[in-house]
Amino acid sequence: MPDETTTRPTHPTPDPTAETTTGTTTGTPTDLRETVRQRYAAAALRVTAGSTACCGPEPVEVDDRFGAHLYDADDRDALPAEAVAASLGCGNPTAVAELREGERVLDLGSGGGIDVLLSARRVGPAGKAYGLDMTDEMLALALANAKKAGAANVEFLKGTIESIPLPAGTIDVVISNCVINLSTDKSAVFAETFRVLRPGGRLGVSDIVAEDTLSPARRAELGDHAGCVAGALSFTEYREGLAAAGFTGIEITPTHEAANGMHSAIVRAVKPSAA
């Protein structure tokens, strides 16, 4: 297994013209990725600066439908304050994935590391939690948070979720928290997720999903790409994308509204044992 350590991406601002493998947003894929990277790098730097300030951390400005309040108080209290402050997700994937002792977990777009650290606690010393992020500032923050938490069974990898730097068939569970919607090539994300999962492995993510009646252009009007809205797939597009990658047992369950016609949702799927 790779042992490089670095950090992950967070959520972007949309451009209605950017092409994606499933659905469209504005701007070129490279431009959109850079917008997302800058957005999350700035968030990481705000948290880092706040942790060394005399008067406490500067609050990160996020919508109240996103962030650390979506986790149980017991989970938040068990982690470094910086990991909690850097949480910009739309759910709690470590809970929906039903992690078990000894499992190997991969978090796509791990950010400040909150879901990696929670996963590491759930899988125990015999298991391992990987975090993958493209943002150096988030990776540095995640490494610092892992050190503060004393987590020995974690590893952070630098890279993109469209090209996962892990061997095939080595992961039991893939999680993600409001990051897949930020990708400009979701078909590649689904294919790579399928590849790294072992046969019988499962996907359990939180993401933003659009109602089928909303066109890509209408999604872009409701919010930007980096804000997790413009790049979201519809329910049908999400199901079809996962099925095309080979997943079965696909379930997409909305949990709360993130924008008009846009929902935070729990997405579950399984890689067939015979795959």
CB 200 within 8 A of CB 252: no
- pTM (two decimals): 0.75
Q: What is the pLDDT along the chain (275 residues), one digit of tens a residue?
A: 444 333 333 333 333 333 333 433 446 767 666 765 567 656 655 655 654 332 233 443 434 444 454 555 555 555 555 555 545 556 677 777 889 999 999 999 998 888 899 999 999 999 999 999 998 988 998 999 899 889 999 999 999 999 999 999 999 999 999 899 989 899 999 999 999 999 999 999 999 999 999 988 888 777 655 556 668 899 999 999 999 999 999 999 998 888 889 899 999 999 999 75
Helix, strand, or coil (residue 160): strand
Domain residue spans in the chain? 29-270
State the Rg of the chain over Cα. Answer: 17
Helix, strand, or coil (residue 123): helix
Please give the CATH architecture assigned to the domain spanning 29-270: 3-Layer(aba) Sandwich (3.40)
Residues 6+ apart with CB under 8 A from 79: 114, 117, 118, 145, 149
